[in-house]
Amino acid sequence: MKAKIIWLQGVTCNGNSHSFLNLPSLASLLQQFEFLYHPLFPSPLQLMDLHTADFDILVVEGGLKQGWKKGDKDLYELFFHLAQKAKKIVAVGSCAVFGGVFKEFDPTITGVLFDKTKKSKLYEHFFNKTVNIPGCPAHPEWIAFAIENDSFSLDEYHRPKEIFAFTVHSGCTRNEYFEWKVDAKSFGTKEGCLFYEQGCQAPFTHGSCNRILWNEINSKTRSGTPCFGCTEPTFPKTGLFHTKTYMGIPANMPLGVPKRAYLTITGIAKSFQIPRLTRKLIDEN
């Protein structure tokens, strides 16, 4: 018998639903799971039927807000009722996990377990059956991983360590430029590190974007766009394309790296010039 899923949307832009539709193995997943309700899939249930539904997994997309109408129900009350019945809750996207982008305009919006870095008032009710998959949007392979598995090793924000124990820096094709402190001077180029001048947050953002590629071929940094840090509770930050520095030194160190060690290593690296890393990878002349 297929496990039954209800996909509930809160305050959202639909981004995670669209991301999920790009899952390469979606057809295979649908052979194992049945969506009783999804706002974009043909579904046997309507929104008004959810209150009496019998299901296994509740997927939540979007932030939660008391007084927000979902059909003829209060979103918060509907979520609480369904969450009590669910065997597992999967919060997908930064809005469902931490409050996300919409919280910047309405501070009353929260994630399921977290309100930014603080535990929400729902935490004690549902922490023992909730797995968080942040991202803006969440990677479709990550969403599928949370749906298909029942046992996880979770970090402090209930993110599976199988996905979020790494930083986005891990697997970045620009790591050689990072090590030798060769900067990218603009977006969209194949050469240079985006950390020093373009605001890339990959060295202190948890995620496997450069290990599990989007559409199986690409990531932000591979395409020449800095990581925005969208899997962290501090997302979104202002000045996404600017690296804050003090006297030329990045204000934020790579995760877990002492400033003294970082300055020592980068100071040595910067004293050398590696001609190969200063040239175009593909010479057009």
Q: Tens digit of pLDDT for each residue in 123-182?
A: 999 999 999 999 999 999 999 999 999 999 999 999 999 999 999 999 999 999 999 999
Judge residue 173's burial from the number of C-beta atoms within 10 Å of its C-beta, 0-12 exposed, 13-18 middle, 19 or more buried: exposed
pTM: 0.94
**85-120: per-residue pLDDT in tens?**
999 999 999 999 999 999 999 999 999 999 999 999
**176-188: per-residue pLDDT in tens?**
999 999 999 998 9
Question: CA angle 75-7-87, nearest 5°?
Answer: 95
Q: How many C-alpha atoms does 241 have within 13 Å on its Cβ side?
A: 8
* 57 and 4 Cβ atoms separated by less than 8 Å: yes
